[in-house]
Amino acid sequence: MRIARYEPWNLVHKMHHDLDRIFASGPDRGTEEPVADWLPAVDIAEEQQRFVVRADIPGVSPEMIEITMDDGVLSIRGERRNEIEDGDEQYRRVERASGRFYRRFNLPDAADAEGITARHSNGVLEIVIPKQARVMPRKIAVETA
C-alpha cells in the first residue's frame, strides 16, 4: 500500500497548470503541439527612461533562450531540459517544470526595439527596453489657397 500525504495546494497548482495549458494551446490550434509546457513568472517595471522585464528561468541556459521584438510584441521563448532520466531511480515527487516556455507581451509605442538588451544571471533573465524620445505635438498652420 502506498501512502501519500494530502496537500490541498496541489489541487490549485494542478488547476492553474491545466488552465495555462488550455490557454497556451487555444481552440484554434487544432492538433498542433502546445506552444508552452510551462510559464516562467515575469515582472515588468516601467522606469523613467526604460522598461525592465525580469523572468525567473532557473536551469535554462542562455543558449536555449530566444527573444524577439516584432510589431510592438516582445516574445520570449526557450526550453529547460528535463534532468530526470529513465533509470533505476523512482521519484517520490517531481515539481520542477521542464520543456518549452513561451511568453508574449505587448509593449507601448514608446519602446525602442533597436536598443533592447538582455542579460541572464542567477536564473533571472533581465530584458531592458529603452524608451524612445517623446515626440511632442506640433501645431500645423493652414494655408489659404
Q: Which three cell numbers stand for residue 22?
A: 488550455
Residues 32-41: tens digit of each pLDDT: 555 788 999 9
Phi/psi region, residue 62 (left: phi>0; alpha: psi -120 to 50; beta: rest), is: alpha
Looking at residue 133, what is its pLDDT? 84
Q: Which fold has domain 36-82+98-133?
A: Immunoglobulin-like (2.60.40)
Percent of the chain with pLDDT over 70: 78
Residues 52-109: tens digit of each pLDDT: 999 999 999 999 999 999 989 999 999 998 877 666 777 788 888 889 999 999 999 8
CA 31 to chain centre: 23
Instruction: Note the pTM of the prediction, 2 decimals.
Output: 0.68
CA-based R_g, the chain, Å: 21
Q: Which three cell numbers stand for residue 11?
A: 489541487
What CA–CA distances, in Å, run from 80 to 15, 56, 102, 108?
Answer: 22, 12, 12, 29
**Residue spans per domain, the chain:** 6-34, 36-82+98-133
